[in-house]
Amino acid sequence: MQKTTEKKDTDLNDIMTMADNPEVIAFSGGLPDPALFPEKALAQAYQKAISQDRGVFQYHSAQGNLQLRQQLANRCQKDGQINAQAENVLITQGGQQAITLIAEMVLSKGCGIAVESPTYLGALNVFDQYQPNYYQIPLDENGMEIDKLAEQLELHPEIKLIYTVPDFQNPTGTSMSLTRRKQLADLAAKYQVYVLEDSPYRDLTYTGSQLPTIKSFDQTGHVIFISSFSKILSPALRTGWVIAASDVIGKLTELKAASDLCSPEITQRSICCYLTDNSLDQHIAQLCQNYQKKQKVMLGAIKDYFPSWAKATSPKGGFFIWVELPEKLDAGKLLIESVLPKYQVCYVPASAVYAGASKKNGFRLSYVGNSPDKIVEGIKRLGTCLKHV
Ligand code: PMP
């Protein structure tokens, strides 16, 4: 399906503004629970990094701190089964900059891009700058429907990039099956198309083991993996990373240098100190325990208070639940109702997360940032609002 140039009804700024009102229970933001930031350990890490070397205040290489790249390469080998060395890693200012740089490398006006339908709003905002033709690939409970993607790749050689969030997808929470991961890597090789595998929620697997990354099946260098410390440590670090073939890293490093010269060394070295002196895995386990509990509370409240025609996903990790409404309902219009003083609750409506605002009957709920009591109260209010439409 091709994109229209229709403007999204609700953009990120509108949603953030609604969530700023303290009276509103916000299920809209993908913001981690601030009570879980490891502030003491991070403060110690910053102090240590500063006391070790005045160089933390200096400009440094655009590719990023070598020790941090090495630590990330090691982590990727262990967790993502990606055979990466430090030279295959680029440090970025969050995953968002990684998306921006990759878009700059691959896209040009009028080219094609295949995206999951729905997909991450912040990525659409980047891609929109290039006015591409969007090919929206539907999702089912096993992630992007790869046979539909294959059809589009065959029909549209102008597709230059496939964007996917394979683990606990933003906004639906769905994960791509193992078979489809392999198939996607094969398609990328066959059609010589880059895959942007965006996986900031991967580490937040509540139960069971992580599936191998798509990148781990990449034989030709077409898969570019990105992730970030935003969801597992703190978004204020603004530190993400790209894992890719050396030539891709070379191009992206040039673009990064042109954009911001380098990421702050002080942050990178502090993260190195944090990773050396603390167990990130232990911290992630605490996050998982907390977030899983909140997800359970939200799903329970949805069962109790939502009309039975509202269908919610039940992901095994990440930040989000997706609620599908009957087709005739517009979640954007409903949002205008739900933020009124009688309900005061907000979420991300479907129109914000489909390229070209092509679908309206669904919304994303984030459970991680609210207390269990607030979750129940907010869902109760939203349930009442839904029952009155
Ligand atoms: N990708 C996805 C799928 C996201 O959900 C987000 C943040 N919401 C990002 C990338 C960017 O996050 P950051 O720049 O903080 O790493």
Q: How much distance in Å is there from the Cα of 92 to the middle of ligand 1?
A: 12
Q: Which domain holds residue 8?
A: 2-37+282-387
pLDDT at 357: 65
Mutation to probe ligand 1, out of 93, 121, 199, 230 (largest number of atoms < 8 A from CB): 230
Structure confidence by residue, pLDDT tens digits, 295-346:
999 999 999 999 999 999 999 999 999 999 999 999 999 998 898 889 999 9
Q: Quote the CA–CA distance of 388 and 383 in Å, as a whole number.
A: 9
User: Domain holding 196: CATH number?
Assistant: 3.40.640.10
- The pair of structure tokens assigned to 372 is 């269990």
The number of distinct structural domains making up the chain is 2
Calculate mean pLDDT across residues 82-89: 94
DSSP H helices in 29-172:
39-52, 66-79, 94-106, 121-128, 146-155
Q: How much distance in Å is there from the Cα of 231 to the middle of ligand 1?
A: 8
Please tell me whether residues 99 and 24 are part of one structural domain. Answer: no
Please tell me the pTM assigned to this model: 0.95
Q: Other C-beta atoms within 10 Å of 2: how many?
A: 14
Structure confidence by residue, pLDDT tens digits, 186-211:
999 999 999 999 999 999 999 989 99
Residue ending a domain, among 259, 277, 295, is: 277
Ligand 1 residue neighbourhood (C-beta within 6 Å): 30, 94-96, 120, 122, 165, 170, 198, 200, 228, 230, 235, 240
Whether residue 170 contacts residue 319, with contact meaning beta carbons closer than 8 Å, is answered with yes
Structure confidence by residue, pLDDT tens digits, 9-24:
555 566 657 767 888 9
HSE (CB half, 13 Å, CA atoms) of 49? 27
Please tell me whether residues 296 and 230 are part of one structural domain. Answer: no
Structure confidence by residue, pLDDT tens digits, 142-153:
999 999 999 999
Residue ending a domain, among 246, 277, 308, is: 277
Q: Quote the CA–CA distance of 33 and 18 in Å, as a whole number.
A: 18
pLDDT exceeds 60 at position 31: yes
Q: Quote the CA–CA distance of 128 and 156 in Å, as a whole number.
A: 19
Calculate mean pLDDT across residues 255-276: 98
Using the structure block, give the residue that is written with the tokens 């190195």: 272
pLDDT-derived band at 3, boundaries 50, 70, 90: very low
Residue nearest to atom 5 of ligand 1 (CA): 170
Count H helices, E strands: the chain? 12, 14
Q: How much distance in Å is there from the Cα of 225 to the middle of ligand 1?
A: 13
pLDDT exceeds 60 at position 6: no
Please tell me whether residues 95 and 128 are part of one structural domain. Answer: yes
pLDDT at 293: 98
HSE (CB half, 13 Å, CA atoms) of 267? 18
Specify the ligand 1 atom closest to the Cα of 95.
Answer: 16
